[in-house]
């Protein structure tokens, strides 16, 4: 389960901004956020509600329904060059085994020289709460923290509580189902559709990724690509298409400069196409 993520930025200004944000958030105690609402938050720009969708034997599905005014945005689990993803802290629970957030495919925004992965206007975020014992119900109380940005960025902290959660109606259930269908499709069980190799170009270490031309064509044509390394010591930037239709080039950054080992199995690709999102962990070396 992915709950908390570190944001790494190659821009000095963005790094300073991020560090200041982390310091600011660490200074916020629960009382610093004023009178917190349970399962609901609303101000002039943002409205959030936490509702119960449906039960299964293994889990209970809840969802956050988030509406934002024009130009406001919130972040995906990997926010990009700046921003921060939702975080939660369990205050109390009963029969709770784990929590799994089902992220719909994000949009990639380019703002003020930064790459941002996230959502504008609205987000419906399904969250599965898995049971320790299937015969018993789940109870929980969590602190939930989300970041929202327009010209400024603000953290919003509120409480979600299973006991006070209202149930979704038929329309909202359809919206939850639609959001689940927008999750990136996992390609890990299919044949490896991505080849990659590391090259040194103009004194920079680059990752060249080549995508299967048969699969990634027509409706699966790649519009945008997000790369994450499942280790905070390495990150990618300057992701762009090459002159070849199915190739992308990105810069590899490391705290160890160029003295690093890149484990290709730790590279996570999120591929955004006209027909939706795809995800694959790892890439294979090219066949010579």
Between 231 and 126, the more confident residue is 126
Contact 72, 120 (CB under 8 A): yes
Instruction: Give the pLDDT band of residue 227 (cuts 50, 70, 90).
Output: very high
Q: Residue 188 — very low, low, confident or very high, per pLDDT cuts 50/70/90?
A: confident
Q: How far is CA 43 from CA 39, 48, 161, 168, in A?
A: 14, 9, 20, 22
Q: Taking residues 44-63, what's their average pLDDT? A: 94
Please give the full DSSP string across 142-196, using - where no structure is assigned.
Answer: EEEEEEEESSSEEEEEEEEEGGGPEEP-HHHHHHHHHHHHTSPEE-TTS---EEE
Question: Which residue ranges form the domains of the chain, and what is each CATH number?
Answer: 12-183 (2.60.40.1250), 186-281 (2.60.40)
Would you state the pLDDT for residue 65?
97
pTM of the model: 0.81
pLDDT in tens, 89-141: 999 999 999 999 999 999 998 887 788 999 999 999 999 999 999 889 899 99
Percentage of the chain beyond pLDDT 70 is 85
What local confidence, expressed as pLDDT, does residue 135 receive? 86
Which of 9-23, 172-186, 192-206, 266-280 shows the lowest mean pLDDT across its residues? 9-23
């Amino acid at each position: 389960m992915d709950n908390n993520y570190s944001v790494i930025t190659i821009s000095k200004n963005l790094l300073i901004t991020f560090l200041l944000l982390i310091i600011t958030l660490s200074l916020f105690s629960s009382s610093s956020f004023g009178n917190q609402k349970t399962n609901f938050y609303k101000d002039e720009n943002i409205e959030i509600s936490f509702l119960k969708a449906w039960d299964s034997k293994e889990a209970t599905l809840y969802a956050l329904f988030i509406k934002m005014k024009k130009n406001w945005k919130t972040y995906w689990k990997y926010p990009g060059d700046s921003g921060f993803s939702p975080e939660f802290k369990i205050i109390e629970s009963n029969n709770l085994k784990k929590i799994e957030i089902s992220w719909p495919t994000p949009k990639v925004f380019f703002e003020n020289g930064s790459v941002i992965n996230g959502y504008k206007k609205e987000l419906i975020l399904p969250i599965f709460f898995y049971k320790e014992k299937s015969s018993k119900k789940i109870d929980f109380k969590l602190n939930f923290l989300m970041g929202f940005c327009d010209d400024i960025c603000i953290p919003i902290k509120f409480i979600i509580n299973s006991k006070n959660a209202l149930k979704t109606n038929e329309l909202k259930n359809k919206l939850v189902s639609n959001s689940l269908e927008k999750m990136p499709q996992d390609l890990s069980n299919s044949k490896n559709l991505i080849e990659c190799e590391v090259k040194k170009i103009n004194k920079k270490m680059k990752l060249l990724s080549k995508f299967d031309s048969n699969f990634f064509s027509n409706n699966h044509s790649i519009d945008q690509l997000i790369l994450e390394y499942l280790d905070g010591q390495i990150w990618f930037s300057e992701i762009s298409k090459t002159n070849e239709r199915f190739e992308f080039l990105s810069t590899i950054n490391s705290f160890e400069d160029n003295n690093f080992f890149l484990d290709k199995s730790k590279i996570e690709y999120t591929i955004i196409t006209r027909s939706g999102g795809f995800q694959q962990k790892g890439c294979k070396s090219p066949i010579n």
